[in-house]
């Protein structure tokens, strides 16, 4: 037993957990914790962005890049309420951070003190975040802190990672007590589960019997750091790989067996392979509407005609949309190692077994390349979207990290970006919260200080969190923002154009009576914040501007004027019932 002040204990716990950063904003509720962070400032760096949402996205992105968690610290009431979006984004994409929120003193519970939420329950912040965290802990005595902290970090990092909240009444930071120190959690991926030997044998039987198999991978493969095993299995048996955005880079996407993303904004060979496959081995991936063409058979998948092996660490995802032929509750890397060992044991495979299947895929790839490749060469003003993707691909090294926001710019990257390494392409996939891309890049850069970190974000999305520039300058975080400026909430305007006869309302940015396209001068805005800023409206200028921004090693914004009237070709579909769904612009659906 040892006597400690609550705030001291929390700080020591963070250090023992190897948490190097706290991203947070002050408030009267957390001054006690801040005061202790002053004492440990050599071990834990406090970074205070200008909005709590940004702190959360930074923490989320930091984890996605490094697979090591950091914490946020927000005050009671409004400060913590600003965190909800970031928690939701992290939870939807199985990313982890420890959200330390402050609350009112326990002695004031239910008295309605300043910033208490108490209509139903005293100090009720945990109920605000309940749906968007894995768990919310609210210790009410210092003695309860060690257990709550250990459980919080273990919960956050075990099984399917997710954000966890620890809500701490004001007095706990100040008060001391005799406490027992708890052991740290062990960190991410320190607990892995495999599957039963019978299921491994059955999975391998199914894989070796299939004549048109595909692997479909998602964030689960990235999170379990199973890229090498995945690539080995794909190569060993010649199985093509489809990736959801958060799985991209687990197999080098320039590999012949990588077919890219599936769904409306996927690549044509991926949708063709998905809908013609006789076996899908889905690992750490969800069949959400966007990667399953809204579950309409024949567009992306053809279950139940196609057999399904579904592997996930979360039972709730197994069979959520398609009942699996074989469901496996396991960690992705452990399962892949089990499969590889079983294949090894069965002896050499028959070479060329899938040659017909691979020949079909090669044909689809040629057709897709012939359709899309010429557009990557076109120079124009405003710039064609393909050009921005191509120049980013040409300029950025393989280990650069990009973060995308929500919007049509993201669709282009889902369809055409070739991630070469895992944990290099950050997407707000499940919740698609605008602000993630522009804010997350700050956390990414702190996680990977020696690698270029570039956010490609919409003009709308950037305008939601423009103060990221101040934080970059204040803390000298040399992130680069490529603002994809199409003077509109283009992703949504495109829905109005496609489904509402172009009756545009509330989706474009204009000024004056003659409705001139309007946006702030983003480059000047960056310069006003003390960052560098340039505007690029001719495609010839973008590549050089990006090279320069990366070399500058300073916070840098490039305002790129992109043509809103060039839309990504749909190769699957996406339905918003009861509205009719659009047919793919390229390729036909298929019914076996």
Ligand X SMILES: Cc1ncc(C[n+]2csc(CCOP(=O)(O)OP(=O)(O)O)c2C)c(N)n1
Q: Could you tell me the smallest distance in angstroms from the CB atom of residue 519 to Mg ion?
A: 9
Torsion over CA of 355, 361, 367 and 372, rounded to 10 degrees? Answer: -140
Q: How many CA atoms lie within 13 A of 385 on its CB side?
A: 26
Assigned token pair, 83: 């965190």
Taking CB under 5 A as the criterion, the residue among 459, 494, 532, 559 binding Mg ion is 459
Residues within the interface to ligand X (CB under 6 A): 405-409, 432-434, 458-461, 484, 486, 488-492
Q: Could you tell me the smallest distance in angstroms from the CB atom of residue 466 to ligand X?
A: 12
Question: Among all residues, whose Cβ is closest to ligand X?
Answer: 458
Q: Could you tell me the smallest distance in angstroms from the CB atom of residue 480 to Mg ion?
A: 18
Taking CB under 5 A as the criterion, the residue among 458, 569, 572, 584 binding Mg ion is 458
Q: Hey, which residues between 469 and 488 contact Mg ion (CB under 5 A)?
A: 486
H/E element holding 328? strand 326-329
Q: Could you tell me the smallest distance in angstroms from the CB atom of residue 463 to ligand X?
A: 8
Q: Which residues contact 543 (CB under 8 A, 6 or more apart)?
A: 391, 394, 395
Residue from 248, 264, 365 nearest 568 by CA: 264
What 3-state class would DSSP assign to 509?
coil
Written in H, E and C, the secondary structure of 398-425 is CCCEEEECCCHHHHHHHHHCCCCCCCCE
291 binds Mg ion (CB under 5 A): no
Q: Could you tell me the smallest distance in angstroms from the CB atom of residue 332 to Mg ion?
A: 35
In the bound state with ligand X, the residue whose beta carbon lies nearer, of 13 and 522, is 522
437 binds Mg ion (CB under 5 A): no
The residue range among 13-21, 193-201, 453-461, 469-477 that interacts with Mg ion, by the rule CB under 5 A, is 453-461
Kindly report the CA angle at 589 between 586 and 592, in degrees rounded to 5?
145
411 binds Mg ion (CB under 5 A): no
Q: Could you tell me the smallest distance in angstroms from the CB atom of residue 460 to Mg ion?
A: 5
Residue from 233, 344, 245, 226 nearest 285 by CA: 245
The residue range among 42-50, 79-87, 370-378, 458-466 that interacts with Mg ion, by the rule CB under 5 A, is 458-466
Contact 14, 63 (CB under 8 A): no
In the bound state with ligand X, the residue whose beta carbon lies nearer, of 94 and 490, is 490
Report d(CA 253, CA 265) in Å as an integer: 16
Pairing mode, strands 2-5 and 176-179: antiparallel
What phi and psi values does residue 421 have, to the nearest 5 degrees?
A: -140, 155
122 binds Mg ion (CB under 5 A): no
Q: Could you tell me the smallest distance in angstroms from the CB atom of residue 374 to Mg ion?
A: 25
Instruction: Tell me how far CA of residue 334 lies from CA of 157, 173, 383, 454, in angstroms.
Output: 17, 41, 45, 32
Report d(CA 136, CA 13) in Å as an integer: 18
Token look-up 């257990």 returns: 147
User: Residue 356, class by beta-carbon neighbours within 10 Å (0-12 exposed, 13-18 middle, 19+ buried)?
Assistant: exposed
In the bound state with ligand X, the residue whose beta carbon lies nearer, of 167 and 386, is 386
What 3-state class would DSSP assign to 237?
helix
Q: Could you tell me the smallest distance in angstroms from the CB atom of residue 484 to Mg ion?
A: 6
First to last CA, the chain: 68
- List the single partner that 408 binds among Mg ion, ligand X, none, CB under 5 to 8 Å by kind: ligand X
- List the single partner that 83 binds among Mg ion, ligand X, none, CB under 5 to 8 Å by kind: none
In the bound state with ligand X, the residue whose beta carbon lies nearer, of 336 and 491, is 491
460 binds Mg ion (CB under 5 A): yes
The residue range among 62-70, 280-288, 357-365, 459-467 that interacts with Mg ion, by the rule CB under 5 A, is 459-467
- List the single partner that 406 binds among ligand X, Mg ion, none, CB under 5 to 8 Å by kind: ligand X
In the bound state with ligand X, the residue whose beta carbon lies nearer, of 11 and 132, is 132
- List the single partner that 433 binds among Mg ion, ligand X, none, CB under 5 to 8 Å by kind: ligand X
In the bound state with Mg ion, the residue whose beta carbon lies nearer, of 165 and 486, is 486
- List the single partner that 247 binds among ligand X, Mg ion, none, CB under 5 to 8 Å by kind: none
Binding site residues, Mg ion, CB under 5 A: 458-460, 486, 490
């Amino acid at each position: 037993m040892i006597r400690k002040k609550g705030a001291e204990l929390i700080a020591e716990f963070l250090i023992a957990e190897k948490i190097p950063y706290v991203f947070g904003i002050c408030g009267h509720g957390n001054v006690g914790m801040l005061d202790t962070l002053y004492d440990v400032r050599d071990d834990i760096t406090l970074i205070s962005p200008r909005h709590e949402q940004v702190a959360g996205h930074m923490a989320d992105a930091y984890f996605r890049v490094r697979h090591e968690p950091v914490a946020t610290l927000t005050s009671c009431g409004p400060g913590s309420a600003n965190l909800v979006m970031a928690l939701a984004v992290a939870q939807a994409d199985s990313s982890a951070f420890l959200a330390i929120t402050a609350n009112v003193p326990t002695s004031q519970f239910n008295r309605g003190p300043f910033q208490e939420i108490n209509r139903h329950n005293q100090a009720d912040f945990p109920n605000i975040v309940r749906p968007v965290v894995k768990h919310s802990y609210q210790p009410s005595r210092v003695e309860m802190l060690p257990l709550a902290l250990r459980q919080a970090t273990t919960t956050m990092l075990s099984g399917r990672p997710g954000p966890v909240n620890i809500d701490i009444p004001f007095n706990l930071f100040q008060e001391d007590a005799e406490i027992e120190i708890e052991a740290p959690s062990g960190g991410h991926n320190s607990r892995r589960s495999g599957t039963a030997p019978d299921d491994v044998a059955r999975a391998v039987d199914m894989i070796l019997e299939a004549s048109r198999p595909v692997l479909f991978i998602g964030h689960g493969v990235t999170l379990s750091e199973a890229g090498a095993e995945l690539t080995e299995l794909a190569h060993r048996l010649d199985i093509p790989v489809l990736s959801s955005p958060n799985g991209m880079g687990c197999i080098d996407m320039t590999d012949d067996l990588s077919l890219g993303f599936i769904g409306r904004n996927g690549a044509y060979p991926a949708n063709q392979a998905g809908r013609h496959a006789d076996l899908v081995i889905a690992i750490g991936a969800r069949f959400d509407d966007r990667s399953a063409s809204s579950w309409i058979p024949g567009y992306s998948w053809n279950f139940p005609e196609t057999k399904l092996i579904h592997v996930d660490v979360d039972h709730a995802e197994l069979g959520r949309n398609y009942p699996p032929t074989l469901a496996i509750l396991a960690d992705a890397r452990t399962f892949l190692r089990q499969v590889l060992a079983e294949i090894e044991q069965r002896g050499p495979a028959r070479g060329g077994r899938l040659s017909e299947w691979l020949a079909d895929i090669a044909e689809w790839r040629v057709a897709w390349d012939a359709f899309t490749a010429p557009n990557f060469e076109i120079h124009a003003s405003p710039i064609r979207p393909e050009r921005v993707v191509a120049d980013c691909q040409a300029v950025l090294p393989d280990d650069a990290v990009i973060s995308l926001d929500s919007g049509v710019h993201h669709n282009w990257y889902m369809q055409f970006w070739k991630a070469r390494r895992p944990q290099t392409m950050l997407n707000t996939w499940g919740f698609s919260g605008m602000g993630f891309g522009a804010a997350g890049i700050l956390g990414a850069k702190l996680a990977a200080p020696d690698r270029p970190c570039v956010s490609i974000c919409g003009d709308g999305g950037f305008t939601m969190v423009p103060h990221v520039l101040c934080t970059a300058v204040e803390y000298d975080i040399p992130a680069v923002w490529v603002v994809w400026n199409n003077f509109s909430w283009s992703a949504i305007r495109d829905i109005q154009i496609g489904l509402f006869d172009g009756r545009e309302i509330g989706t474009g940015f204009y000024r004056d009576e003659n409705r001139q396209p309007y946006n702030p001068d983003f480059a000047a805005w960056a310069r006003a914040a003390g960052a560098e800023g340039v505007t690029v409206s001719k495609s010839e200028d973008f590549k050089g501007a990006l090279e320069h921004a990366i070399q500058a090693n300073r916070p840098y914004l490039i305002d790129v004027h992109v043509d809103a009237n060039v839309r990504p070709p749909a190769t699957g579909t996406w339905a918003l019932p009861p509205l009719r769904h659009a047919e793919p612009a390229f390729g036909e659906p298929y019914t076996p």
